[in-house]
Amino acid sequence: MKRIACLLAAALVLVAPAFAQEFPTKPVRMVVAFPPGQATDIVARLFAEELTKMWGNQVIVDNRAGGASVPGTMAGRNATPDGHTITFATSSSIAVNPAIHSNLPYDTARDFAMVHGVFTVPWVIVAHPTAPYNTLKELIDASKKSTISWGYGASSLQLGAELFKLRTGAQLVGVPYKGSGPATTDLLGGHIPLLLDTVAATLPHIKAARMKAIATMTPKRMPLLPDTPTVAELGYPGFEAEGWGGMVVPKATPKAVVTKISRDVAKVLHQPAIQKRMLDRGVVPDTRGPEEWTKFVHAELVKWTDVAKRANVKAD
């Protein structure tokens, strides 16, 4: 019996790499929990196009929008764990949702294997051109003297705003919006003096001097905004808050298949033309592989859970 067990184990070791080499054996579904045209969807379609060429099998983007991205994430979680369904997960779906929903039907660490990081979405604090502060210190000092409102258009941005307040002591009053569009409109119209949003959404207005950039929440300065300092360099070392996205599969997916998908995603990510197309859309390529990206995602989950608890932010 022991000999038979050893032979079976050896056979499995040989089969796994062979299966990975054959993958994919049919069309691949890429689940995106957002509507067509949204930033994650745009990036997903770039990768679907390139992976289709690489694999010789069609990679089909499956938009499952709505429900705070829960239905789409669940569709990926419940898929057959063979690599033929890949979920394009984001900070909001697998790090922020678990932090603010008490009865979420999925568990990030238990239910998903991290395949590869794909992009980060830089966040920036912007003000109306007439606002009486031009630096982060002036903004923080002003917030302690009188009430200042600032807007944000997503739950992840709300937690970023709360983290900023916790770290800096700024006394800002949050104004939640249903997306960047209405938040931007109110800032441009002078209804709110301040906004926390993505660089992608604000960059055209910053370049046109309709907004002034106060500071980014990225770990280092952005090439797109080289003259805008980071919160970290302005006296708050280690401060970092930004959106992100990457690919995950069901936890039981064979490791050899996860490795193959990861390697092929990395090949796409390292194409200069793809990097340029991503940067042109306001997202930064993320080249972290499975091990590094897993550590990052789990650290983000801990960070946002702590912020939500301390700031008493709940979606239930």
pLDDT tens, position by position, 121-162:
999 999 999 999 999 999 999 999 999 999 998 889 999 999
Do residue 149 and residue 216 come from a single domain?
yes
Do residue 146 and residue 111 come from a single domain?
no
Do residue 228 and residue 248 come from a single domain?
no
The predicted pLDDT at position 17 comes to 52
Taking residues 7-25, what's their average pLDDT? Answer: 58
DSSP, residue by residue, the chain: -HHHHHHHHHHHHHHHHHHHHH--SS-EEEEESS-TTSHHHHHHHHHHHHHHHHHSS-EEEEE---GGGHHHHHHHHTS-SSSSEEEEEEHIIIIIHHHH-TT-S--HHHHEEEEEEEEEE-EEEEE-TT-S--SHHHHHHHHTTS-EEEEESSHHHHHHHHHHHHHH---EEEEE-SSHHHHHHHHHTTS-SEEEEEHHHHHHHHHTTSSEEEEE-SSS-BTTBTTSPBTGGGT-TT----EEEEEEEETTS-HHHHHHHHHHHHHHHT-HHHHHHHHHTT-EE----HHHHHHHHHHHHHHHHHHHHHHT----
DSSP, residue by residue, 152-170: ESSHHHHHHHHHHHHHH--
Give percent of the chain above pLDDT 90: 86
Residue 81 has pLDDT above 90, yes or no: yes
Give percent of the chain above pLDDT 70: 93
Q: Is residue 99 part of a domain?
A: yes
The predicted pLDDT at position 39 comes to 87
Residue 1 has pLDDT above 80, yes or no: no
Residue 174 belongs to a domain with what CATH number?
A: 3.40.190.10
The predicted pLDDT at position 20 comes to 55
Residue 65 has pLDDT above 50, yes or no: yes
Residue 4 CA to residue 87 CA, distance in Å, equals 38
Q: How confident is the model at residue 93 (pLDDT cuts 50, 70, 90)?
A: very high
Taking residues 27-33, what's their average pLDDT? Answer: 97
Q: Is residue 316 part of a domain?
A: no
Residue 262 has pLDDT above 80, yes or no: yes
Q: Is residue 11 part of a domain?
A: yes
Q: Is residue 44 part of a domain?
A: yes
Do residue 113 and residue 255 come from a single domain?
yes
Do residue 19 and residue 104 come from a single domain?
yes
The predicted pLDDT at position 236 comes to 97
Q: Is residue 31 part of a domain?
A: yes
Residue 5 has pLDDT above 70, yes or no: no
Residue 266 has pLDDT above 60, yes or no: yes
Residue range of the domain that includes 209: 127-234
Average pLDDT over all residues of the chain: 92
> Which of 1-5, 45-49, 121-125 is predicted least confidently?
1-5
Q: Which of 234, 263, 278 is the last residue of a domain?
A: 234
Residue 282 has pLDDT above 90, yes or no: no
pTM of the model: 0.89
Q: Is residue 141 part of a domain?
A: yes
Residue 19 has pLDDT above 80, yes or no: no
What does the CA dihedral 7, 11, 13, 17 come to, rounded to 10 degrees? 170
Q: Which of 175, 207, 234 is the last residue of a domain?
A: 234
Do residue 95 and residue 185 come from a single domain?
no
Cα 305 to Cα 94, 100, 103, 181, 248: the distances in Å are 11, 7, 14, 27, 20
Q: Which of 170, 204, 234 is the last residue of a domain?
A: 234
The predicted pLDDT at position 3 comes to 54
The predicted pLDDT at position 315 comes to 87
237-260: pLDDT as tens digits: 999 999 999 999 999 999 999 999
Do residue 58 and residue 145 come from a single domain?
no
Q: Is residue 218 part of a domain?
A: yes
Q: Is residue 47 part of a domain?
A: yes
Do residue 102 and residue 211 come from a single domain?
no
Do residue 159 and residue 202 come from a single domain?
yes
Q: How confident is the model at residue 49 (pLDDT cuts 50, 70, 90)?
A: very high
Do residue 117 and residue 263 come from a single domain?
yes
Residue 140 CA to residue 198 CA, distance in Å, equals 20
Count of structural domains within the chain: 2
The predicted pLDDT at position 22 comes to 85
Do residue 8 and residue 99 come from a single domain?
yes
Residue 295 has pLDDT above 70, yes or no: yes
Do residue 190 and residue 291 come from a single domain?
no
* Residue 215 vs residue 281, higher pLDDT: 215
Residue 207 CA to residue 182 CA, distance in Å, equals 20
Q: How confident is the model at residue 21 (pLDDT cuts 50, 70, 90)?
A: low
177-229: pLDDT as tens digits: 988 899 999 999 999 999 999 998 999 999 999 999 999 999 999 988 999 99
Residue 40 belongs to a domain with what CATH number?
A: 3.40.190.150
